[in-house]
């Protein structure tokens, strides 16, 4: 195809599209395109608008009263109140706060990584390999661990630590 045939085809396509989208210039059968208007048509249209406006106003929801949300995602202060009325909320607030539970200090994260045995003068001497946040610790019986425990006994599969302050025994077994 030449440029002339491209131009002719494009022009024909544009003309066909323009004619297809244009509104008809006359009504079928040669009738007039304007509909006869009644003398009270303007007042009926305005009254219809008023009727529709009143219908929409009647369906409009009543303004809601603000209520405090039950939970606040930005505060971490216990359970949300379950009061449904202001009187119940006041009763809940007037109660004495609960006594906090006594929390024991957390035990250190110590685990037994291994136990080594040596023969010294005919006796078995054991060394425990402990893994803690401070690193790897090599300890023997009677030594201090993490500043608050003393190694009481090292067995072939477990280590017993005694807390210096309370005398409580902590038994750690060798994990397999």
Q: Which residue has the higher pLDDT, 22 or 20?
A: 20
Question: What mean pLDDT is predicted for residues 138-151?
Answer: 88
Q: How confident is the model at residue 1 (pLDDT cuts 50, 70, 90)?
A: confident
| Structural domain contains residue 124 | yes
Q: Is the pLDDT of residue 146 over 60?
A: yes
Q: Looking at residue 147, what is its pLDDT?
A: 82
Q: How many domains does the chain have?
A: 1
Is residue 155 domain-resident? yes
Query: Is 25 part of a structural domain of the chain?
Result: no
Please give the pLDDT value at position 164.
Answer: 86
pLDDT for residue 152: 92
Q: Residue 19: inside a domain, yes or no?
A: no
140 is a domain residue: yes
pLDDT value at position 73? 80
Confirm whether 101 is domain-assigned: no
DSSP per position, the chain: --HHHHHHHHHHHHHHHHHHHSPPSS-GGG--SSPP--TTHHHHHHHHHHHHHHHHHHHSPPPPPP---S--TT--SSSPP---SHHHHHHHHHSPPPPPPPPPPPPP--EEEEEEEEEETTEEEEEEEEEETTEEEEE-TT-EETTTEEEEEE-SSEEEEEETTT--EEEEEBP-
Which residue segment(s) compose the domain that 159 sits in? 111-173
Residue 71 — pLDDT band, cuts 50, 70, 90?
confident
Q: What is the pLDDT of residues 44-58, one digit of tens each?
A: 667 888 888 888 877
pLDDT reported for residue 102: 67
Tokens 């379950």 found at: 82
User: Is residue 145, in this structure, part of any structural domain at all?
Assistant: yes
The per-residue pLDDT of the chain, averaged, comes to: 77
Has residue 27 got a pLDDT over 60?
A: no
- Position 33 in a domain: no
* Banded model confidence at residue 13, pLDDT cuts 50, 70, 90: very high
Residue 15 pLDDT greater than 80, yes or no: yes
Strands 158-163, 169-173: pairing is: antiparallel
């Amino acid at each position: 195809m030449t440029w002339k045939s491209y131009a002719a085809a494009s022009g024909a396509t544009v003309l066909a599209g323009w004619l297809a989208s244009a509104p008809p210039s006359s009504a079928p059968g040669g009738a007039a395109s304007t509909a006869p208007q009644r003398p009270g048509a303007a007042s009926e249209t305005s009254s219809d608008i008023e009727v529709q406006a009143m219908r929409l106003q009647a369906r409009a929801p009543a303004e809601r009263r603000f209520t405090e949300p039950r939970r606040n995602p930005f505060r971490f202060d216990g359970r949300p109140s379950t009061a449904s009325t202001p009187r119940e909320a006041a009763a809940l607030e007037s109660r004495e706060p609960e006594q906090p539970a006594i929390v024991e200090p957390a035990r250190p994260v110590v685990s037994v990584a291994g136990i080594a045995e040596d023969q010294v003068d005919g006796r078995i001497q054991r060394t425990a390999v402990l893994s803690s946040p401070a690193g790897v610790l090599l300890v023997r019986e009677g030594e201090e661990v993490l500043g608050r425990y003393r190694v009481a006994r090292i067995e072939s599969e477990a280590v017993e630590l005694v807390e210096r302050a309370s005398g409580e025994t902590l038994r750690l077994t060798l994990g397999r």
